Every structure is written in structure tokens, then in C-alpha cells.
Amino acid sequence: MHIDYVKLNQEWNYSNVISPYHRLYYIDEGMGSISDNSELIILEQGYLYLIPSFTVCNLNCDEHLSQYFIQFFEESSDGVSLFANHRSVIKLEALETDIILIKRLLKSNPGRGINRSSNPKAYEKEAYYQEYQSLNNGLKAYLKFENQGILLLLLSRFLKSVTFPSENSQTTSPKIIDTISYIQLNLNKNLNVGELAARINHSQDYFSKLFLYHTGKRPLNYIHEKKIERAQYLIATTNKSFLEIALDTGFSNLPHFSKIFKRILNLTPGQYRFQNKQLK
């Protein structure tokens, strides 16, 4: 979506940033910080930082900070994010190959910076996402492969810091993988546990236990979390009403949607939209 090299100052000071895409930073000079409610991470020279999508954070620079940054959406074959269970900032010391790859990506993709503003609220809009997608569609085939290859190489470094559920247990059941994919692709529907169990020929009780064993979450809780994650994206990137978003995410009415949203994020949809209010 974006890649650029920027020099930041005290104006780079934004609170409660929650983006529907991943952000990767390489700092080559100066100092800044990323924080949430529990941790402060220093942005320092010679390090890489990955902020997974929907990670709540505050961005700050007291004096000056020079950074290469890459912003990108993640689309996986099963619809499940690699960082679904790790919504926090990851910090790694940069290797020489990392720096070479980032600079190569920047050189191959000129004019893909954020020229409007450094404020996420200014450029996180659906119209701009469509613009970026149009630019991607116009890339030559070799460059699409090269871009994806570089991103995968960079991401592979961070995956060493992430623990997957399957690494702590036996191989995940193919039926559970199929169910997870089905949920992700049908978030606009009123999904229920009984129907999910029936589609893979399991009793509801056995299916619930199997799902919990492989994912660490109960099926209904997982469904609600994914629906609210989709709702976060819609609130951050569109001007749809809360009722429209509720219906788009498979809730039959606004009160139920608001109740689940508040339970998961500890914010009402209105409070969340206020925090992510888009500039007019």
C-alpha cells in the first residue's frame, strides 16, 4: 500500500491509532516510541518494528526520527491472519539483508508514500485504499512477485517471535481449519455453533470441544471476535452507519451488535469511531 523514507519531528504524535493493515518500520536515525496501555517500546536506530493490524498504539517523537516504513494489507488463503493471536508490537534488530530488501522495495515502488499527511486519520479512508489497489493492479507481473517476495522475507523474521496454536498441540484438524476459513468468508451471516458443527458432521458439544482444543477459543467467542474485527475495519475506513455495519457483520439488530462490540473492545461503537474520526 505504502512505502517511503521520512524524517519526522514533534508533530508525529498520535494517540489510539488502530489500523486495518500492518505497519513495518526500520529506524535509521533518531528516537521515538510506540506505546499502548501496558508497554512502552522505544523506536531506536538499527531496529525493525512490526505493528500487526488492529493493534492499538500511540505514536510519538520528541525531537527527530528517520524511518523507512511499509504499510500493507494481509490476505491469506484461509482468511486467518498470521498474527491473529499476537496483536502487539514486535521489535527485532535489523540485519544487513533486511535493510537491503527495504531499500530495494522503496526503489522499485517510487511515489508510494503518504503525501497527504502523517496523520493516520487523514489517509485511512476507503477511497484511498481503492486508489492504492488500483496502483497495485497496474504493476507489472515481475514487480508484483518481487514486492510480495520481499514482504514475505521480511515477515518471516517476525514470525519467529509468534507462537501459533498448532505449535503447542497436535496438528490442527483439517475440519477446524475448514471451519475457520468458512467463518472468515461468511462474517456477514448470522453464524451459529450448531450449524458449524453440522456442516462438518459433528455434534455441537464435540465440535465445541474440538474447536477449543485447536484454537484456544470457544466457537461463539471466536465468531464474535472476527465479526468485531471486521466491524473495526468498516468503522475506520467507511462512513457507514452502525446499523449498516451491524447488518454487514451478520448481527440481526443494532443493540446486539453494540453489546458484543463493547464486551470485546471495552468501547462502544460510537467511542471507537470518535477515536478513529476521519478528517473531513
Domain with CATH 2.60.120.10 in the chain: 2-159
The pLDDT score that the predictor gives to residue 237 is 74
Enumerate residues 6+ apart whose C-beta is below 8 A from 215. Answer: 165, 176, 180, 222
- Residue with more model confidence, 217 or 169: 217
- Residue with more model confidence, 77 or 277: 277
Q: Does the structure show a pLDDT above 90 at 161?
A: no
- Mean pLDDT, to the nearest integer, of 147-168? 77
- Residue with more model confidence, 231 or 82: 231
Nearest-angstrom CA–CA distance, 243 and 251: 9
Task: Collapse the DSSP code of 133 into the 3-class scheme (helix H, G, I; strand E, B; otherwise coil) and give the result.
Answer: helix
State if pTM tops 0.85.
Answer: no
Beta bridge partners of residue 38, listed in sequence order: none
Mean pLDDT estimate for the chain: 84
Q: Which of 133, 171, 122, 121 shows the shortest CA–CA distance to 18?
A: 121
The pLDDT score that the predictor gives to residue 166 is 45
Task: Collapse the DSSP code of 87 into the 3-class scheme (helix H, G, I; strand E, B; otherwise coil) and give the result.
Answer: coil
Cα of 272 vs its chain's centroid, Å = 16
pLDDT digits (tens, 9 = 90+) for 109-120: 988 887 655 565
In the chain, what percentage of residues exceed pLDDT 70? 84
- Residue with more model confidence, 186 or 243: 243
- Residue with more model confidence, 239 or 70: 70
The pLDDT score that the predictor gives to residue 257 is 96
Q: Which residue has the cell 486508489?
A: 131
The pLDDT score that the predictor gives to residue 96 is 96
Q: Does the structure show a pLDDT above 80 at 97?
A: yes
CATH number corresponding to 2-159? 2.60.120.10
pLDDT digits (tens, 9 = 90+) for 18-64: 777 889 999 999 999 998 767 899 999 999 999 988 777 889 999 99
Q: Does the structure show a pLDDT above 80 at 14?
A: yes
CATH number for domain 165-275, candidates 3.40.50.720, 1.20.950.20, 1.10.10.60, 3.20.20.140: 1.10.10.60
pLDDT digits (tens, 9 = 90+) for 167-209: 444 456 778 878 887 887 788 899 999 999 999 999 999 999 9
Q: Which of 125, 73, 107, 99 shows the shortest CA–CA distance to 4?
A: 107
Beta bridge partners of residue 70, listed in sequence order: 3, 24
**DSSP label of 70:** E
Beta bridge partners of residue 43, listed in sequence order: 32
The pLDDT score that the predictor gives to residue 165 is 47
Q: Does the structure show a pLDDT above 90 at 81?
A: no
The pLDDT score that the predictor gives to residue 127 is 56
Asked if 49 and 27 count as a contact pair (C-beta separation under 8 A), the reply is yes
The pLDDT score that the predictor gives to residue 78 is 52
Domain with CATH 1.10.10.60 in the chain: 165-275
Q: Which of 65, 8, 9, 70 shows the shortest CA–CA distance to 42?
A: 65
Asked if 38 and 79 count as a contact pair (C-beta separation under 8 A), the reply is no
**DSSP label of 168:** G
Find the range with the poorest average confidence among 77-86, 117-126, 147-156, 255-264: 117-126
